[in-house]
Amino acid sequence: MKIICSSVDALPDSLPSGALAFTFLEPSSQPEVGRIANGWLRELEKEGYAPSVSVWDFILFCFSVYAADVAVLRKGSADGWTRQIELDITLNDPDPWEENRHLVENMLRVLTGDFWTLQFSTGGPRPPKGQRRLCDRDCVALLSGGLDSLIGGIDAVAQGRKPIFVSQLAFEDSARQVTYANALGGGDWHQQWSHRLVFKGKKETSTRARSMVFYGLGVLATSLLPKRKTEILVAENGFISINPPLLPGRIASLSTRTTYPLFMSMLQELLEALGIETSLIMPYRFKTKGEMLRECVDQSLLKKYACDTTSCGRFRTYNRTHCGRCVPCLVRKAAIQYWGHVDTTNYKFSSLSSSGKTKADDPMAVACAVLSAEQNGIDFFLGATLSFSTQADRSSYRRVIEQGLCELAVLLRRDGIL
């Protein structure tokens, strides 16, 4: 399916048959055309943003990828999952993007599991030209409202870092993000933005590319920093980053790859190729969530907020309540138990033994993974899962998966699943 993301001025008068189109920053007069970040330019200028062309084009790209990911339904593909997406984007300087087109297409293939064909053309909306404020911050930290990002923020501040915290507006998590940023002394520079994607028609719910918006906002925030070479702190535990297939049928993008190491290395390569001097730092890539909790520098602050954070993959399904039985919830429960503190999180299913048989495939998959590793060894369970890694990193990734399964095993036995 063809998706066009364009400035209003560069949008064609008539769309190709079957194509969907979006305009950046302002609406089109064509009623069937969706819009991305309507009215955002004025807000950015008011906040003092004056990003380079390369940074601005990167965020236009990120928003476009998310729009295509949401607009193209997986159920319409031949296998019910893998899509063929043609994405045309208007940018200010398309030349470096065209030079790296194959890298970008392969990167998106890893992230979403789809086949992407990209086209870049001139005519993108110009960057905001705000009056930049003096900034005393020294890095950017992604702050989602989740447990890992809270720990990352706590540790960064305890180590003397002064991050600009960047968040995506997300229902009740928006209030959590503000609370955490203020608690960490970064409220004045906390950046909360939304992609503001609006269009008619059904939306794809798998949203494997949703992280692209977060990375785009993070890169945009680096333009406020006084240093040319910047860092973006991405706090995610290694077990979830790798997200090993718990069953043979959960290979590739059937498990989310938000911070998958191969994707992250390709994203870093793209930033360097575009001349964006930003390093993606993943300080916990060899730690489990349980280890992150135990080793957090400020345990007092962590205890105050840990069980208020959000982890659930079905949070909205259960009216802003953790389900307690999806993989993220299971990892959260196991980690807090490993931490050694009472879990006061409000779960729909507090115990796996009472979670019912319907929609309980995640506990079953985790149980199968644990038994496979215990009975046949961790290497049998992993198979080719770590083929992406260098020889130097492989043993560390292997250890974090083994430790993550051990934490989960304790939880499953506590609830009588094993």
Q: Confirm if 367 and 417 have CB atoms less than 8 A apart.
A: yes
pTM (two decimals): 0.95
Angle at 91 between CA 89 and CA 94, to 5 degrees: 95
Q: Is pLDDT of 355 > 90?
A: no
DSSP, residue by residue, 158-170: HTT--EEEEEE--
Nearest to 64 by CA among 8, 114, 21, 14: 21
Cite the residue boundaries of each domain of the chain with CATH code 3.40.50.620. 139-281
Length of the chain: 418
**Second-level CATH architecture of 139-281:** 3-Layer(aba) Sandwich (3.40)
What is the percent of the chain with per-residue pLDDT over 90, rounded to a whole number?
87
Q: Confirm if 142 and 235 have CB atoms less than 8 A apart.
A: yes
Q: Is pLDDT of 251 > 60?
A: no
Over the stretch 94-138, which tens digit does the pLDDT of each residue have?
999 999 999 999 999 999 999 999 999 999 999 999 998 779 999
pLDDT band at 359, cuts 50/70/90?
Answer: low
Three-state DSSP at 362 gives helix
Confidence (pLDDT) at 128: 97
Terminal-residue alpha carbon distance, the chain: 45
Q: Confirm if 143 and 193 have CB atoms less than 8 A apart.
A: no
* Nearest-10 Cα torsion for 384, 389, 392, 397: -70
Over the stretch 8-62, which tens digit does the pLDDT of each residue have?
999 998 899 989 999 999 999 999 999 999 999 999 999 999 999 999 999 999 9
Q: Is pLDDT of 358 > 60?
A: no
Which pairs count as long-range contacts for 37-44, CB under 8 Å and 24+ apart, including other chains? 37/63, 37/194, 37/195, 37/196, 38/196, 38/198, 39/196, 40/193, 40/196, 41/125, 41/128, 44/128, 44/130
What is the sign, positive or negative, of the torsion defined by CA atoms of 281, 284, 289, 291? Answer: negative
Confidence (pLDDT) at 254: 59
